[in-house]
Structure 1
Amino acid sequence: MTDASQGRSAIVPVPLDSLVVDVLTDNVSDTYVSKALSAVSEFANVVRAGATIISGETLLNANLGFGLQLISKVGAVEHHLLFDTGPEGATFERNCRNLGIELGGIEAIAITHGHWDHMGALPAAVDAIRAGGGTPTVHVNPGMFNQRGVLLQNGSVIQVADVPTPAGLQAQGAAVVNDGDARLLLDGHFYYSGEIPRVSSFEKGRVDHLARRGPNDPWHPDPLLLDERMLVAHVRDLGLIVFSACSHAGIVNVCTEVRALFPEIPIFAVMGGLHLGGVMERIIPDTVEGLRPFGIANIITGHCTGWRALHALADAFGDAVSQSAIGTTYRFDQSLELTR
């Protein structure tokens, strides 16, 4: 498929019969929140995994960060992929254990960008997959491995944790694809993007975000985080499911790029962090209006979206908007088309 207006060719994911999404890491724990898309709550999932009592020990831990397990199916072919891993190993391991997830079946890990709250648990995830008999392929790009920092209001800079390196991951036994270009993953079940163009008039990134190559180099502004990537799946009879873990590119830019790449396929759902809290709250009204033309049936917000943005989106789009929460399972398949 070619998008003539952009002069680019898109590699197109195959239509899936079904896609199951497990929320392994997120900022929010809320088993009581209204669920969308035939979603299953944390309580039900831990009971299914073997819990005989609901308690603090049998439930999951919320933490700053984001991580999903995606299970895709076409006919008899099934693939298991992690979309980011969250901030630290103990939380990741506990949450997977309480959900009864067998990590040895994970074939690939798609990392969205080089921030600790998305990659901090990656070494623990690789170790757990290897211990279960798997050999994961980790997909990254070279821009993810700069040091990052935040400019505080008093003018000082605080560095955030470094992320695992390709060499370190390979030493753990993972295969690493460190490439900036777009590619299809796992028999074409998933589209892992290249750099996301910044085209909207208002999504200009984080003014407080800094980067440097190493500890002896000066900090420089890095508002755009050009290393960020998205993941897209195509579920038959529904449309595209777009995963944007932090939306540093801006969720309108993300959807604009998806529309340019796959103009014949509607966007059925967007899921992830929209990074509209804190210093980004000023662009909430523009973001709401910018999303309107896409006609997205389901906007599942999590992680860094912020409560002001969630409320604004819900006011604008009603039941199309829901809150992601740890331990929730979403299933996308033809049965949803029958209920639309």
Structure 2
Amino acid sequence: MTDLAVVDSVDIQILVDNVTDSLSSAPAFVESEFAGLGRRRGAAWVLGGACLCCAAHGLSCLLTVRSGDAARMILFDSGPEDRTFEQNVSRLGVDLGPVEAMVLSHGHWDHAGAMLRALQLVRDRNGGRDIACHMHPDMFRSRAAKLTDGSFRPMEDVPSIAALEAMGGHVVLSRVAQTIVGDTVFVSGEIPRVSGFEPGLPGQHRRTEDGKGWEPDELLLDERFVAVNVRGKGLVVLTACSHAGVINVLTHARASFPGVNLHAVLGGLHLSGINERIIPQTVKALRGFDLDVIAAGHCTGWRAMTALCNEFGDGKLTPLAVGKTLRF
């Protein structure tokens, strides 16, 4: 994908994450929720409960990509539900009007639940212009987790194409890689599964085409990542949930841009729950990418965070939290 432009910088603001943490120290390129509020509101700002963001199980990231005097903005996922997304956007003082596109990483409710409200908020601020919504065509199939007794626990569906279009979304379906917003952001195609130890999401099923039954869907082939190539640093890769496996994600990113440095990976690494068993293999394999930053959050899990910290230290590991802004 040689048409991905090299940009001067990218800011990634965490609108939704599982964790809130404004007191821990952070590296210079990370601004905490409280620091950001103080900068935006100035000396008149008074700290109180009405200022706080809300943590929730999910992820939403606002990317602002800068080249010279130009800035382009995309929304990557929306988190699980309207209230959390809208509250955090409001309390962080975020203007969604400049958002040019939305990307949904994969078809799960904790990343898609607020997409319709997000569209509405963007269009309320942009004069009612439609917004491109980049999706994989298999995201819309109903999904469920198979329980140990053989029954199925259905998951909430992502918004349908009709619902997105009714809210002003221009749905762009693709299985292959593309660049968007002036070739400044790379949206991957389906991620090859090559690591040999990353299992996807064990137990997940999806509705059969006829809608009458369930079929295994552990690989979640609809999952994609996004990446930005920052001048002097290299690729910043956003992997929202890593059902494909973060090693598969980084392997595909490196293969897509041979010769380009992999600077950072950001997002959920899905090393919690049943995938805790692959923490050792994942940590070992991560060494081979020589990343400068591992910004992990959402579904990574505390056991994996501990293992990552023990291996890489806080010189590389930067835990995510709602309200943080990471500047590359």
- TM (norm. structure 2) is 0.95
Q: Report what 1:139 is aligned to.
A: 134
For 2:207 and 2:167, the matched residues in 1 are separated by 26
User: Is residue 118 of structure 1 aligned with residue 111 of structure 2?
Assistant: yes
Q: 1:35 aligns with which of 16, 26, 38?
A: 26
Aligned AA for 1:197? P
- TM (norm. structure 1) is 0.92
For 1:124 and 1:313, the matched residues in 2 are separated by 35
Helix, strand or coil at the partner of 1:323: coil
1:12–1:262: 8 Å Cα contact kept in structure 2?
no
Q: 1:44 to 1:147 in 2, by over 3 A?
A: same
Q: Report what 1:330 is aligned to.
A: 326
Q: 1:156 aligns with which of 151, 175, 187?
A: 151
For 1:98 and 1:320, the matched residues in 2 are separated by 29
Matches within 5 A, 1:116-265: 116-133=109-126, 134-213=129-208, 216-265=211-260
Helix, strand or coil at the partner of 1:296: coil
User: Is residue 296 of structure 1 aligned with residue 291 of structure 2?
Assistant: yes
User: Is residue 321 of structure 1 aligned with residue 317 of structure 2?
Assistant: yes
User: Is residue 65 of structure 1 aligned with residue 61 of structure 2?
Assistant: no
1:39–1:330: 8 Å Cα contact kept in structure 2?
yes
Q: Report what 1:108 is aligned to.
A: 101
For 1:114 and 1:233, the matched residues in 2 are separated by 22
Give 1:135 shift: 2.9
Give 1:142 shift: 0.4
Aligned AA for 2:61? L
1:72–1:189: 8 Å Cα contact kept in structure 2?
yes
RMSD: 1.4
User: Is residue 48 of structure 1 aligned with residue 43 of structure 2?
Assistant: no
Give 1:152 shift: 2.2
User: Is residue 286 of structure 1 aligned with residue 277 of structure 2?
Assistant: no
Give 1:177 shift: 0.5
Q: Report what 1:6 is aligned to.
A: none
Matches within 5 A, 1:262-281: 262-281=257-276
Helix, strand or coil at the partner of 1:320: coil
For 2:91 and 2:61, the matched residues in 1 are separated by 15
- 5+ residue gaps, structure 2, are none
Give 1:153 shift: 3.0
For 1:142 and 1:98, the matched residues in 2 are separated by 34
1:129–1:135: 8 Å Cα contact kept in structure 2?
no
Q: Report what 2:11 is aligned to.
A: 20
Aligned AA for 1:22? Q
Report % sequence identity: 43
Deviations 1:179-222 (A, max 9, x none): 21211010111000000000011012121211114794211111
Number of matched residues? 323
Aligned AA for 2:136? N
Helix, strand or coil at the partner of 2:107: coil
For 1:192 and 1:143, the matched residues in 2 are separated by 16
Give 1:53 shift: 2.1
For 1:306 and 1:178, the matched residues in 2 are separated by 31
2:208–2:215: 8 Å Cα contact kept in structure 1?
no
For 1:143 and 1:272, the matched residues in 2 are separated by 22
Aligned AA for 1:324? L
